Structure 1
Amino acid sequence: MKFGQSIREEGPESHMKKTGTPTMGGLVYLIAIIITVLGVALFADRMSQEITILLLVLFGYGLIGFLDDFIKVVLKRNLGLTSLQKLIAQIVIAVISFFLLNGTEFDTAVYIPFTDFSIELSMLYVLFIIFWLVGFSNAVNLTDGLDGLVAGTASIAFAAFGVIAIIQEQEGIAMFTFAVAGALLGFLVFNKYPAKVFMGDTGSLALGGALAMVSILLKQELLLLIIGLVFVIETASVILQVGSFKLRKKRIFKMSPIHHHFELSGWSEWKVVTVFWAVGLAAAVIAVALEVL
């Protein structure tokens, strides 16, 4: 069907050679994850509310990304879904997730990592879930600008939460996180530089939403700020760049998200990706170690 990626003109000129690379590859690993998780959960009689919610978020956010990609790539309408349409759809899925959680004895407090402090949000927790899912789905989407960058950093983040899930004896969540990490490592074989296929919004939105929901189910919401440090930095760079330009008419970075800044500073794409992987791995190891200890 010639699912070729159109490279945005305002990006680095070196990326124009990627035009036409097959996209929507997220479909491949999303299908693999869903089949694996459902198959194992049903076969082992381990289907649970947590797995249902995780699959709902993964599928729901993946569907939003798929519709956006499909409109742009197949129907040849460059804008895809509007920002408002995507936002509304993301909020709806987050609200549905909250009500599914609210049907159980779910703890609506947000705990401060490495301390005994917590903040009870009660019904306001629905606003937190909306902010967390929408925020991180878009954060991962922003990060998806270099070959293999998200596939590598997301697999590290899911694996880190998988370790925490095992420690908490949350077998269903652990199974889900390692299924995602494994699928991403398989996809990385074809997505690493030079990429033979891109994941598209189909994959990145699904990963961000699912990662946020994993942190919520494990009651390690704020720990995601450390485990997902690369995604946080990428998003912050965009916010700072836009804010600086609007207020001072000056740019902080040569281009945002920040991975493009390093590219334009002379780093090769592969160097940027491997350094960001290393940062993500170091942050994840430190976060898990401190949480366990």
Structure 2
Amino acid sequence: MDAVDYPDQRRVNKRPVPRMGGLAMAMGIFVTILVEVVGEYCFNWWGFYIHGDDRGIHHAGVLAGLFVIVMVGAIDDVRSLTPRAKLLGQIVGSLIIAASGLLLSSIANPFGDGFIEFGWFAYPLTVLYLVCFMNVMNLIDGLDGLAAGIAAIAAFFLFLIAFGRNLGETAMLSVILLGATLAFLRFNFTPASIFMGDSGSLMLGAMLGIISLMGVMRSPTVIVLAVPLVIAAIPIADTAAAIVRRVYHHQPIQQADRKHLHHILLSKGYGVKRSVIIVYLWTAVLGLGAWVMSNSHGVLVFAVAGILMVVSFLILWKLGLFDKVLRHHYHGRHLRQEDKPEWYGKHGR
């Protein structure tokens, strides 16, 4: 079907590489969940779908929404959908998930007793949450093994946190995602023999969003909601910088460029493998910090979160991720030749 990434000035790969490997990860996830469901119904396994407290979640609907998201990504891998059409597909899949009862409907009041109820606003809030996670993972998927590795590390720490809080279904889904990503990394780590494509990156983002929403519904505290955001801080910051950068330069938000974090690491001479390992280690530190937060109380939670955010921001600033956003002289026509960064002229503005 010609689902292939061909080399060009924006891509890092030097040879054609097949994509749409996300279908392999999706198949691993769906088959594993099917085995669990069959085991519960046919072999009296004590599990999550019959005996668990599902709080009104229709799991088949959640899987249907995830399937729609995977198919939207697969179609984009083959036919290159317009950004608007791809976003519409993500919204449809997220709406199906929200309509199945998996909602960010309430959160414990961090400033007092009781809960903050979102009411009907829970539906657009849930859709926005899922779509943001999908696009964050989609934009970070720029080097061999980068997105899959980040997702694997995030899934591992989400499992530890969910297990520690007795959130059985959340822990199970985390382990399933961890297994799928580790298996895929065998073929996706540099030098990759296959890419995940949008079918994979959108699916990974959706799964991380679903897992975190499952955790919030079972334990509706601010810390449970904050943990996945802390673990995914690197792709979130990279995405935020990309949006600000493109708005600042009057470019469409969906326009691709070579100014993401992984491109900056490459421009500094780290190479693909070292760049990926740097981000892995950084994500692991954030995950460890999130685990500490989940086992802390009061001021210590905010202190750890603040330290992680400040350190991450300083690292991103030192690498120059925000330089290209905030400094007007980086706009090509205002640069003297000797001031131009090394990537300028090789890859255009």
Cα displacement (A) at 1:3: 3.7
- Residue 270 of structure 2 corresponds to 267
What are the superposed Cα offsets for residues 142-198 of structure 1, whole Å, 9 maximum, x if unpaired? 010000101111011112222232233332332221111111111101111111110
The verdict on how the C-alpha distance between 1:22 and 1:107 changes in structure 2, with shifts beyond 3 A counting, is: closer
Kept in 2, the 8 Å contact 1:148–1:273? The answer is yes
Cα displacement (A) at 1:25: 0.9
- Residue 209 of structure 1 corresponds to 206
Runs of 4+ in 1 over 6 A off after TM superposition: 112-117
- Residue 346 of structure 2 corresponds to none
Give percent identity, aligned residues only: 29
Alignment gaps of 5+ in structure 2? 42-46, 50-56, 217-223, 252-256, 297-349
TM-score, length-normalised on structure 2? 0.71
Corresponding residue SS for 2:107: strand
The partner residue of 1:37 within 33, 39, 42 is: 33
Corresponding residue SS for 2:166: coil
Cα displacement (A) at 1:27: 1.0
- Residue 70 of structure 1 corresponds to 78
The partner residue of 2:249 within 245, 249, 258 is: 245
- Residue 98 of structure 1 corresponds to 98
The verdict on how the C-alpha distance between 1:114 and 1:160 changes in structure 2, with shifts beyond 3 A counting, is: farther
Corresponding residue SS for 1:101: coil
Moved more, 57-66 or 200-209: 57-66
Equivalent-residue separation in structure 2 for 1:22 and 1:123 (angstroms): 42
The partner residue of 2:156 within 148, 154, 159 is: 159
Letter in 2 for 1:246: H
The partner residue of 1:24 within 20, 40, 44 is: 20
Letter in 1 for 2:75: L
- Residue 148 of structure 1 corresponds to 145
Equivalent-residue separation in structure 1 for 2:275 and 2:23 (angstroms): 26
- Residue 60 of structure 1 corresponds to 68
What are the superposed Cα offsets for residues 32-79 of structure 1, whole Å, 9 maximum, x if unpaired? 1110111023213435346435533432211110111122xxxxxxxx
The verdict on how the C-alpha distance between 1:7 and 1:124 changes in structure 2, with shifts beyond 3 A counting, is: farther
Cα displacement (A) at 1:112: 7.7
Q: Which structure has the larger Rg over C-alpha atoms?
A: 2
The verdict on how the C-alpha distance between 1:245 and 1:109 changes in structure 2, with shifts beyond 3 A counting, is: same
Letter in 1 for 2:285: A
The partner residue of 1:258 within 249, 257, 261 is: 261
Equivalent-residue separation in structure 2 for 1:258 and 1:107 (angstroms): 30
Report how many aligned residue pairs link the two structures. 272
- Residue 308 of structure 2 corresponds to none
Letter in 2 for 1:67: I
TM-score, length-normalised on structure 1? 0.84
